[in-house]
Amino acid sequence: MWINRRSELRELEAELYEWSNRFDVKLLALPAEFKFMLPASEGCDAPTPPIVRANIQLQEFLALPQEVRDKTVETMLEIKFPEEIIRAIANYTSLKPVEVGNKQFILASRKFPPDINPDTAEFHKLVSRLGQLAVALNRLDPGTNISLLNVAHYPYDVPTRQFIFAQTPPYHVISMKSLEILLDKSPFPRVYAPLNQRLQVAHKLAEAVFFLHTAGFVHKNVSL
């Protein structure tokens, strides 16, 4: 039956590809039983969209054996990161990026529970879980445009009991304020942006969370 209708299926494939490009449809992921990507029609040299390419890279990393993923995390932990980041960890205010030469880093931290000792298996499991998220974000293409920052370094600071994500902003930043801090200071902040801009921000947040969901991470790991 499939052989008899092969030409029709190829025409349908080409039509779906054309309309998905025309409407800029981005396929991130589907349930396992439907998870396949329609190949581009023959003769089409259109580049793979960055968001699809990034999702494929994440899926390839998550498909690796656990031992290989853990080794990748260990390699990232062993990378020497700038001394400026170490000095900034203790007094980081999240209001300004850390300047390292002509580069900037935004630090995001998460403290590990006080009842977990760094020499325990539970601690190493925590290092692995957060490390896999760091490696996944490290593989993001800057052109992906899904409002997730690339993680350049993943140290954990024993004195302050913190895991650190040293993230690179997509452009030069003078000052910054997270949504969490903004809401803490004023639960009902004044609105300076028009509705369409606020809708774009909400869409970007939802897109970033959904992208992490497709990679197997839950949204509680997303810092606003």
pLDDT digits (tens, 9 = 90+) for 59-108: 788 788 888 888 888 877 776 666 777 677 666 666 778 888 888 888 87
Average pLDDT over residues 170-179: 76
- Tell whether the model's pLDDT for residue 30 goes beyond 60: no
pLDDT > 70 fraction of the chain, expressed in percent and rounded? 59
The pLDDT assigned to 3 comes to 45
| Helices first, then strands: H and E counts in the chain | 7, 5
Residue 50 contacts residue 144 (beta carbons within 8 Å) = yes
- Cα distances (Å, whole numbers) of residue 141 to 49, 58, 176, 216: 11, 11, 22, 18
pLDDT band of residue 139 (cuts 50, 70, 90) is confident
- Locate all alpha helices (DSSP H) within 103-193, ordered by sequence: 121-138, 179-185
Residue 37's Cβ-count burial label (10 Å; 0-12, 13-18, 19+) is exposed
- Tell whether the model's pLDDT for residue 116 goes beyond 50: yes
Could you tell me which residue, 22 or 45, shows the higher pLDDT?
Answer: 22
The pLDDT assigned to 58 comes to 76
- Tell whether the model's pLDDT for residue 176 goes beyond 70: yes
- Cα distances (Å, whole numbers) of residue 43 to 14, 40, 46, 205: 11, 8, 9, 36
- Tell whether the model's pLDDT for residue 165 goes beyond 80: yes
The pLDDT assigned to 41 comes to 45
Q: Across-strand partners of 167?
A: 106, 151
Q: How far apart are CA 69 and CA 54, in angstroms?
A: 17
The pLDDT assigned to 62 comes to 78
Backbone angles phi, psi at 100, to 5 degrees: -130, 95
Which stretch of 60-74, 180-194, 208-222 has the lowest confidence by average pLDDT?
Answer: 208-222
Q: How far apart are CA 167 and CA 109, in angstroms?
A: 11
Could you tell me which residue, 31 or 175, shows the higher pLDDT?
Answer: 175
**This model's pTM is above 0.75:** no
SS percent in the chain: helix, strand, coil, step 5: 45, 10, 40
Collapsing DSSP to helix, strand or coil, 110 comes out as strand
Q: How far apart are CA 40 and CA 14, in angstroms?
A: 7
- Tell whether the model's pLDDT for residue 42 goes beyond 60: no
